[in-house]
Structure 1
């Protein structure tokens, strides 16, 4: 072992785990960018900012694109993109632990601490079981998804091209990345029943969170045995999906650029279902997002900011955070001093964390919108939509990604990165606890 490696390892061990993980993600983004610059990755040379933006979008499983995946990438480039999506969605430490386990190597306490931070857990217990659940979920869902999607793509494109399209979309969907090997996304299969069932199923399962999946597999259908987190996530998801689907149908039913392109009512509802589910996390589209009404775009922004489940491949402030924030608001107006749900209390520390996460997320989005508005020409709603999509790691765009300057791309890259790994670094600061030495008398602050 060289002295340089020993010093680097010693310095790395002194860094807080969230900072180590953030550094690893940044390193992966730059490695991915260099891979896209290789001559076999693209049919023609691309700029470094193109490569960096694409790599960052893949690692953060966002899906915003400045180059056409279908025409501006070779098969090798698409494979590199798939690997980056898988690593970014699965989590670097989770992937590392899986490799160590497959090789029969021991997993030390340091690796477990990093894994705990990567999975946003508060305890080191049951991490091994959670990793095994993640491996089973990834292999099963992506494998079955690819087989089912092959039934659609193979007859149209031939065996090997069809198989590749199926594998790519299965990986992209389960990791909530939103990348597609087709320039127009999935608009060509807007009413295809297989695509409209398989793709949403993949990103719903990938987006509810590995902790929820583990809880469901462990306790099967026993609702009472589920943890409070699982109950809040499932309840919030069960409410948001129908609400988003029906809202999209009502707002876009007579829009000639979206739903009105279809004659049958069931076709419009099928498209509404797909867009209602994909907006919070996945980023796939079966309609022209640029043709949405402004009211629908504003609804999409709210859904993208909420995002999916915690410890999942989704972004946003997370469903559980949103639900706890609503419960805290209701409790305040009811003059309740204790917050509870499903027979379990929610501590003040958790409520404060929810408020901090929400406040910081809104400030980040506001700063992003301000920077792009001050440096770019464009419709305010388009810019806001782009920033919200980047923070929620969704990948939907109203066509504004191509208008970004190099500075604008850096802003979006930073927002995508913070939207994906921000809770890791933020959790470090939130977890820093200092016992006050002096207790001050309570004062009165006039609020509202």
Structure 2
């Protein structure tokens, strides 16, 4: 690892449209350092075998890699037991597992499920399906003008009827960090469980699930330097024990008779079929890389970068920013619009300058409607971004309106 983090990422050395690549779509997926790429390559080059199934050397090694990664994730999240760590393919699958294994079995007619209006569809649509199937009621927490959740919303919406709160730790549109400890306190006081979508928090700031007192916590590896196809569900042991399996098949069974099956103990109960050991080895390498820098250092570096970015963007009078009122509770996700220009056009024009941002609804239709827009531009930062990346973004944005024949104001 070098002090110039950008140098550790091969893809960031390339050009796009004959320009230096300025990658600002880290909220969608992060790039991979060479150490992660080599770890995945090493697995398939030297260790590839089916875990848990063979008594031969390669299978034993694959099992060791897989289970050692599980314990590393346990430590990374501050979980009590490795059996509370379930591997999935991404945060979406993790949330669906909770919705269908917990929600469909423990939510009843008339129960209330509380969500924030800022949820990603992955933490919203599954709960819609649970509510429809079980006759439950969805209630939404609405954000204030600066994107934060008012205390009054929490106190008024989390009631004796609440059985589950599904909440993003960090909004993928606004970058706002939600008060998870306060939410778990209120939810647990009325006997509700809390499902936390940590896809946008785990890569960017220190997380301890026991300190947060989350009942379930999910994240995707590919948003924190790891390969695509590996995700994590953390769940408190007593809840996971009470839940039926989500998928059925090999490796999640204990005994199978012609008419009956008994299931394996945690965590195998929720890990049917051949698992992504190569992805797990990549996730292990990604955790090593992040911990070598330090999550507190990453968090502070991003806060400095987002302060700079917002200050520079505010110099452009035709830019509208969303959720940028409080730097203390915000990560490096910046949503904005350019006056008169559709976000897709903005993204295309920036791409010609080698700048990659996201444009659209960001899998958050209800939030877009609440904000009164159809779409936004989103620049999402990571620790390998620099102020020169921000300068390139702002310079390119200063030309966008002119490209489409508008004045600068």
Higher relative helix content:
1
Structure with the bigger RCO (C-alpha within 8 Å, sep 6+) is 2
Query: Which TM-score bucket, shorter chain as reference?
Result: under 0.3
Q: TM-score, with normalisation over the residues of structure 1?
A: 0.24
